[in-house]
Amino acid sequence: MAASFSWYFLFYDQDYQPATDFDETESHLVVWSNHYAKTYVNFIKNLAEDDHVTVYVPKTIPKDSIFNVLKSVGVQMGNIQLEAVTNENIWIRDFGPVFLMNASGKTKTLSFKYYEENFFPYEYQSIYKERLRASRIISIGGARELNGKGLAILVEKHEADVNPKLSKAEIAKELKRKLNVKKIIWLKSGLPQDDVMSNTPIYGNIYSAGSGHHIDSFCRFISPNTVLLAQVNKNEINNHPIIKMANERLEENYNILKKALDQDGKPLNIIRVPMAPLLFENQRIFDTNRIFVWSNSYLNFIITKHKVIVPGYGHSIKSEDAISKDLEIENRFKSIFPGKKIVLLDCVDLNRKGGGFHCISINKPKKKKRNKAA
């Protein structure tokens, strides 16, 4: 009997799982950018109405100036913490820390390798006096979905691109060791509009400039057993070759998810939501004029205590289709997230660089209270 209790409490104290986007939040972590100031102000204002926000301000920008900017537009400054950092990379979801917690409320923090040299983990450790454990592989936050119970969803094309010398089995082994992942569902590829930039157009004379098959543009956990998956409306499939391509990729992934089981051997609850309208713009690059389709998505959202902050496109695209799609997604999200306010905000300037609201923020989970013995 004593041995059984010892095993139970050892397991209870060691079974760490990654935090999820639907966990209760201690603070949303964001790296400030003057270049995207208008988008950031609206985003941070909405976050701070519900939750605490930690804004990392590059040392090239005076913290006082950001404080004054946020205060001038009515941001609840009692929920804002400003921290000076050297890092100027805004895509904190991709390179930032992974927070893990166990059932007894203990936490630990992990840092994966990034494409380029990443100083942020060292700055994070210095600010919070908290040691980050390290992994030997590149793993990008916006390219993995975790349900907090041992299940991960990854995209084969992305992982092959960022870890070309590693097999799927080797990647799985490292995630199981570092994140306590018990099972991985492998999807095939991401949206064509999220393909990385290259000198080869994805169709005709249209080029992509995305992040490279990031899962947070088309598939997201909203509970341990429920995933949202983008879908092309049937009456739109033949409206454009890129939409048709997106439909083929999404349906291939849907068939994988439909047949998959979670870490406990149960089928997933899959909810389909509309894919965002294609966003085309002309831009001069490499001394030529090119048409780009930007990596935009309704699924690059953030969940707060009382809201879901979602990218909206009617204001920027100004077409009847985009306005109608925004209304459709707002109503759809109201049914998916009952009791939460659905807030659509413009983030096209982020889409032009391959990201969205989910890409520029991480939710640090609120620590659980230790369960008292009966």
Give the CATH number of the domain where residue 318 resides: 3.75.10.10
Q: Which of the residues in the chain have pLDDT under 50?
A: 1-13, 372-374
Residue 372 lies in a domain: no
6 inside domain: no
Supply the pLDDT for residue 374.
36
| 149 domain-assigned | yes
Task: Count the domains in the chain.
Answer: 1
Residue 4 lies in a domain: no
Q: Which amino acid is at 172?
A: A
232 is written with which tokens? Answer: 């092309």
d(CA 316, CA 346): 7
Burial, 338: exposed, middle or buried (Cβ in 10 Å; 0-12, 13-18, 19+)?
exposed
Assigned domain for 3 exists: no
Predicted pLDDT of residue 11: 39
Distance (Å, whole) CA 187 – CA 159: 11
pLDDT of residue 345: 98
Q: Above pLDDT 70, what percent of the chain?
A: 95
- Predicted structure pTM score: 0.94
109, part of any domain: yes
Report helix, strand or coil for 8: helix
Q: List CB contacts of 214: < 8 A, sequence separation 6 or more.
A: 140, 142, 143, 155, 158, 190, 194, 295, 354, 359
What local confidence, expressed as pLDDT, does residue 135 receive?
94
Q: Note the pLDDT of residue 35.
A: 97
- Specify the pLDDT at position 239: 96
Is 13 inside any structural domain?
no
Domain limits for position 23: 18-365
pLDDT score, position 8: 36
Maximum Cα–Cα distance across the chain: 75
Residue 143 counted as domain residue: yes
pLDDT of amino acid 104: 86
